[in-house]
Structure 1
Amino acid sequence: MEPELSTIGRDNYTDYKGKKADQRKHGGVRAASIAWVVEIMLSLITSCNGVTLVDYFFKSMHYSVAESSNMVTNFLGTAYLLSIIWGFISDSYITRFTTFLVSGTVQLMGLTMLTYQAYNPNLQPSENKTPSYIQALFLFAGLYAIATGLGGMRATLAAHGADQLDQRNKSLISSYFNWYFFSICTGGLLATCVMVPIEQKYGWSTSFLILLFVTSLALCTFASGFALYTYKRPSGSPLTRIIQTLVVSAKNMKVSTGGSVNHEVTEVLLAREQSQHKFKFLNKALMDQNIGVAQVKETKTFIGLLPIFVTTIMMNCCVSQILTFSVQQGNLMNRTIHNFTIPTQSIAFVPIIISLTFIILFEQFKKKNKHKDASNTKFYKPLFRMGIGLALVSTSMFVASIIESKRLEAFNNGKTLSVFWLLFQYILLGLSDTLTLEGMLEFFYSEAPESMRSICISLSWCSSSMGFFMSSVLVTLSNSVSGRFGKEWFGGKDLNHSRLDLFYALLCVINILNFLLYVYFAKRY
């Protein structure tokens, strides 16, 4: 087969009966909008778990402050890391529709276990005691069933929705991901303003029961559109093709290309492709008659995305602080207004509102300028927006360090700082997350080979995973190193006897270096 006739990456969309999709009946904005609705519910579940589980582990399951924080970050980290495996399964073997339903059912099972545990006193530890072996086993089995299911839902939902649209309309794809992130923020807003107060008033058991219902509703809503959807049929293992390309390129590294028919057509097929000179050593794979140009381009594209992916990890490490240490900070601050105590988690609604407003204004700006040439407008480009987001996260950690230092100073003087001081770091981190994650979703989907879109979308969530794990590693490492020089930063019984301000300062320095690295790779992309 000639390289130009390779089928990798070609359109292969069908309806639910397996026949070629009819654009008049299948797909389109109506089908894509179902993903937005489902994402609101999925984000509500994820955000609620993220902001309330740290208190659940600390207050109800009686784990320590550090253990509770690390349990949440490890839970979310595992969920997002597993998205890469689900993405591989979806791209290689089964459709995204099927993957979503299977993984959603797994998450439903996990939530059922946590709900049952919350209602059963025998599965909860006694006061001031940590869980028994059976109680802990039940907790972690349910928790990581949720994580496993969440990974699959995250890997497929955004890509499935984007698959419903005309791939040639880049502006429409960009708008889709803006509104998709709008749905993420809306779910987060409902979690902080509705679910957190419900949990505070009625307890964990009621909260878990509501999440169980919402998960069931999300699965039913998603499945209801099966007749409308277009389905991207899997094209075999893309990772196998990438490994094959790398192995053959390595073998042929020192071999002359003069007599290779496959290599001769490279100049014709890649003449106008930027990828011709990127990772040029991979062109050696074309000497193998079984490897086509499309396969080499697929490999180059995926490898090219990896440096961008790596430089977004530290941003997610900082965002994880909102779910853990920021919650514990707020619990030690003055949260009372006119005899009403504000749940710390509910403060997150302010940056969410700002993010929602930003997306609406951004889309309105695009509409007003749709007839103008926006190709030279940097802010339309996801890489530029991601860069601004990474710059903001360094600023947020600097501000967070100062605020925590002031909070400790007030505590030592017998005073309590207002919880609203946390708004500064919340807003900066919220804007950073909006610009970076929305940009990542659009960038990885748009730049990905068509045969690897689930995997590449998963890179966005995998970055979050690595950020959560990085947070746990840095907490442990900084604790260990600081202990050797006198006092552990997190050695106290709570944050009033710890040095979170120094930890935030460390994150600020690391993120400045990371931003410089991102700029280097983004310019070379």
Structure 2
Amino acid sequence: MLGMPVTSFGWSVNLIVYLIEEFNIKSIAAAQITNIVNGCLSMLPVVAAILANSFFGNTPVISVSALISLLGIVLLTLISFFDNLRPRPCETGSILCNSPSKLQFGILCAALALVTTGSAGTRVTLASAGANQYEKRKDQGSFFNWYVLTVNIGAIISATAIVYTQDNVSWKLGFGLCAAANLISAIVFISGKRFYKHEKPMGSPFTSLLCVLVASMVKRKAVISSKEEDYHNRGIGKEAKPSVSMPSKSFRFLNRAALKTEGDKKPDVDSIKNIWSLCSVQEVEDCKSVLQLLPLSLAIIFVTTPIVTQSSFMVLQALVTDRGLGPHFKVPAASVQVISIISSCIFIIMNNWIVYPLYHKLTHKPLTPLQKVGIGHVFIVVSMAVSAVVEAKRLRTVENEDHMSVLWLFLPLVVVGIGEAFQSPANTDFFYGEFPESLRNTATSLISLVFGISFYLSTALIDLIQRTTKWLPDDINHGRVDNVYWVLVIVGVLNFGYFLACSWLYRYRNLQGDNEQDPKDIIT
């Protein structure tokens, strides 16, 4: 499993530098292109999750995705080998650089499309495949912590060894190492297929959700009953999960989808004609659970947007700082991101072994997933404020014709890493546990989807700021990136208030049995 994140991060973490140095693309434009690519990398896992849930299962999707990723990274390696696939390098001291031709840019886009599609196909299906090996919610939560830790270790290897190789040896060797890691991972995963616990595809879960919405609209004039016998329960059998006999009071208008009326035929599990007019109570409740999670998903979007914006700016800031550590070593600009990853890994371990057990011992109850996410939100807002202060200091050193040490950038990255250690595993655990069983893969991909939306929001925010202010010129030494960070602080504070309100109102579906806790989550 480690080889997959090594490959994924090995080409993506240094992409902004690659575009600037090898394809002569200006810094802010390179940041926007990188955000778009990372947005696709984060949103496509939803497609992979739907394919795994509905038609093929996790193992085939992971296997095919690994091979597609291998094709993409091999093509990136070939681009690095052949000079005619890249524009001519800029002449030393010249501001006039050749832009890539349409053919060169097209081949680059094809390589990025392949490697993005392949990496996206394994990103969350691996998490679901691993969690499916366990039955208890507690064991699944522990697995997600270790899964995130493993992914972060892969990212650390990429952001240090791979990035250093790309910057100081050659891009062809750096991409070649990614290709080797991809190939080894694919072979190891496919070789172990017979040992895995395979989940059978359950058909498209979205059909059921759509049926509930359609049936409730068709019966919108029907009077909602309070009697259990007036509601339809389908799929009670050996392989069916326990069915709810009465619909809940939330989203009451959806209860009509399970209400038996005179126009309905005798319920038949296999009847195609009935599913668009009569659904089971369990299907109605599953639809409600998805709707109840949407407000919290929106809160996560607005807390991850500052994170992805910061990650792009930190690389640009690192490029104009003093990156020398000693007489013979220079920190690669993209490698500064490893600080947040290392910080996240350290605190994931500390949380599992010290913080969470200590809290449980003192309060006699565990932290809920949403409480962990809320703690993470606070650290992320603090990180944006620290980033603003550090950038203001850097601009003062530029005025004095000096270069600030890159070490100053480490402080906000450490803080954001702590926030990620709290919120990232908890978000995955929360959505995996609260989504209906038929949407478990989609649940784990939802976090990735949120990041994808955040990358696009970040791109839109950068474009808006460029159009309305002078804060983001091509040379950030003449800009005010610190003001951008303060805008992100304001957004983060407002979003945290919204998150607290959503968390207070939310009631867990599946937490009570495993953690012996009131299903109502209390953040404060």
* TM-score band w.r.t. shorter chain: 0.7 to 0.9
> Is 1:515 the equivalent of 2:496?
yes
CA distance in 2, matches of 1:375, 1:264: 40
> Is 1:428 the equivalent of 2:415?
yes
CA distance in 2, matches of 1:364, 1:89: 36
Q: Which residue does the alignment assign to 2:403?
A: 416
* Contact 1:41–1:214, Cα closer than 8 Å, also in 2: yes
CA distance in 1, matches of 2:339, 2:225: 63
CA distance in 2, matches of 1:504, 1:296: 43
How many angstroms does 1:196 deviate by?
Answer: 1.6
Q: Which residue does the alignment assign to 1:229?
A: 196
How many angstroms does 1:143 deviate by?
Answer: 0.4
How many angstroms does 1:68 deviate by?
Answer: 0.6
Q: Which residue does the alignment assign to 2:335?
A: 346
How many angstroms does 1:359 deviate by?
Answer: 2.1
Which sits farther off after the overlay, 75-84 or 362-371? 362-371
- SS of 1:235 mapped into structure 2: coil
Q: In the TM superposition, what are the counterparts of 1:207-218 in structure 2 within 5 Å?
A: 207-218=174-185
Give CA deviations for 1:378-405 in whole Å, capped at 9, x if unaligned.
2xx2111111111211111111111111
Q: Which residue does the alignment assign to 2:281?
A: 293
> Is 1:309 the equivalent of 2:290?
no
Q: In the TM superposition, what are the counterparts of 1:406-485 in structure 2 within 5 Å?
A: 406-482=393-469
CA distance in 2, matches of 1:314, 1:50: 22
Query: In the alignment, residue 208 of structure 2 is paired with which amino acid?
Result: R
Q: Which residue does the alignment assign to 1:278?
A: 250
How many angstroms does 1:316 deviate by?
Answer: 2.1
CA distance in 2, matches of 1:506, 1:371: 36
Q: In the TM superposition, what are the counterparts of 1:125-164 in structure 2 within 5 Å?
A: 125-127=87-89, 128-164=97-133
How many angstroms does 1:277 deviate by?
Answer: 2.5
Which sits farther off after the overlay, 352-361 or 102-111? 352-361
* Contact 2:231–2:259, Cα closer than 8 Å, also in 1: no
The one of 111, 118, 123 aligned to 2:73: 111
* Contact 1:163–1:230, Cα closer than 8 Å, also in 2: yes
Alpha-carbon RMSD across the aligned residues, in angstroms, is 2.3
Alpha carbons of structure 1 residues 456 and 259: separation in structure 2 relative to 1, 3 Å: closer
* Contact 2:373–2:424, Cα closer than 8 Å, also in 1: yes
Query: In the alignment, residue 251 of structure 2 is paired with which amino acid?
Result: F
Structure 2: gaps spanning 5 or more residues: 90-96, 234-241, 261-266, 268-277, 507-524
Alpha carbons of structure 1 residues 119 and 269: separation in structure 2 relative to 1, 3 Å: closer
Query: In the alignment, residue 136 of structure 1 is paired with which amino acid?
Result: F
> Is 1:181 the equivalent of 2:141?
no
Alpha carbons of structure 1 residues 366 and 65: separation in structure 2 relative to 1, 3 Å: closer
Structure 1: gaps spanning 5 or more residues: 1-37, 483-487
Give CA deviations for 1:110-144 in whole Å, capped at 9, x if unaligned.
11211111111110101311110000000001101
* Contact 1:262–1:287, Cα closer than 8 Å, also in 2: no
Bigger relative contact order, structure 1 or 2 (CA pairs below 8 A, ≥6 apart): 1
* Contact 2:11–2:178, Cα closer than 8 Å, also in 1: no
Give CA deviations for 1:356-394 in whole Å, capped at 9, x if unaligned.
22222233248967997987222xx21111111112111
Query: In the alignment, residue 248 of structure 2 is paired with which amino acid?
Result: Q
CA distance in 1, matches of 2:434, 2:286: 10
Alpha carbons of structure 1 residues 432 and 473: separation in structure 2 relative to 1, 3 Å: same
Give CA deviations for 1:457-512 in whole Å, capped at 9, x if unaligned.
11010011011111100000111122xxxxx2223x31112221111111111111
Which sits farther off after the overlay, 396-405 or 277-286? 277-286
> Is 1:44 the equivalent of 2:13?
no
Q: Which runs of 4+ in 1 moved over 4 A?
A: 258-262, 268-271, 366-375
* Contact 2:215–2:279, Cα closer than 8 Å, also in 1: no
Q: Which residue does the alignment assign to 1:195?
A: 162
Q: In the TM superposition, what are the counterparts of 1:25-36 in structure 2 within 5 Å?
A: none
Q: Which residue does the alignment assign to 1:495?
A: 476
Alpha carbons of structure 1 residues 409 and 365: separation in structure 2 relative to 1, 3 Å: closer
Percent identity between the two aligned chains: 26
* Contact 1:400–1:501, Cα closer than 8 Å, also in 2: yes
Query: In the alignment, residue 176 of structure 1 is paired with which amino acid?
Result: F
* Contact 2:315–2:336, Cα closer than 8 Å, also in 1: no
CA distance in 2, matches of 1:231, 1:431: 34
Give CA deviations for 1:261-310 in whole Å, capped at 9, x if unaligned.
764478x9647x9x713322211110255411221122112222222111
Q: Which residue does the alignment assign to 1:12?
A: none
Give CA deviations for 1:158-208 in whole Å, capped at 9, x if unaligned.
000000112xx2221111111111101111111122112111221111111
* Contact 1:317–1:471, Cα closer than 8 Å, also in 2: yes
Query: In the alignment, residue 289 of structure 2 is paired with which amino acid?
Result: T
* Contact 2:345–2:421, Cα closer than 8 Å, also in 1: no
Alpha carbons of structure 1 residues 374 and 254: separation in structure 2 relative to 1, 3 Å: farther
- SS of 1:313 mapped into structure 2: helix
* Contact 2:373–2:427, Cα closer than 8 Å, also in 1: yes
Alpha carbons of structure 1 residues 494 and 170: separation in structure 2 relative to 1, 3 Å: same
> Is 1:67 the equivalent of 2:29?
yes
CA distance in 2, matches of 1:249, 1:404: 54
Which sits farther off after the overlay, 135-144 or 381-390? 381-390
* Contact 2:232–2:280, Cα closer than 8 Å, also in 1: no
* Contact 1:319–1:433, Cα closer than 8 Å, also in 2: no
Give CA deviations for 1:50-72 in whole Å, capped at 9, x if unaligned.
32110000011001111110111
Alpha carbons of structure 1 residues 329 and 458: separation in structure 2 relative to 1, 3 Å: same
